[in-house]
Amino acid sequence: MDTDDCSDEQRNNYKNKSMFKKHWAYDYICPIYNDSNLEEVLIKAGVIALENKSTKQIKRDYIKIFPTDINKKDAIQIKEFYKKLSEIEVADISNMHEFIKFCLDNKVEFPK
């Protein structure tokens, strides 16, 4: 969740899980957030360079950042993406690296 489109109360309730307290899956919910938005987190992590790009141009680059083909090269890119996210001080602005790590740790290896 990008937190730039919500109130402070909504942001805090999302991040601390109180927003989900009545949901049957509450114990399993781990809110993933980018405070204030994904673009800022990706720039801070060095995943994308700002280079005078507009938000629209950055969003077009998402396909390069988040690959959609399943192959070995993509797994390497995802590991590099995780490393960049986990190396910066993002605890206060994002916990997306925790989600990426969970996915890497639980990925399924398909036979070729």
Question: Per-residue pLDDT tens for 8-65?
Answer: 999 899 989 999 999 999 999 999 988 878 888 888 888 777 666 666 676 666 666 6
Q: Looking at per-residue confidence, does 91 or 100 come out higher?
A: 100
Q: Residue 20 has what pLDDT?
A: 97
What is the count of structural domains for the chain? 1
Q: Which residue range forms the structural domain that includes residue 101?
A: 31-105
Q: Residue 62 has what pLDDT?
A: 66
In the numeric block, which tokens belong to residue 99?
């989600």
Q: CA 8 to CA 27: how far, in whole Å?
A: 23
pLDDT, average across residues 71-100: 80
Tell whether 101 is covered by a domain. yes
Tell whether 14 is covered by a domain. no
Tell whether 3 is covered by a domain. no
Q: Residue 91 has what pLDDT?
A: 61
Q: Residue 13 has what pLDDT?
A: 94
Tell whether 24 is covered by a domain. no
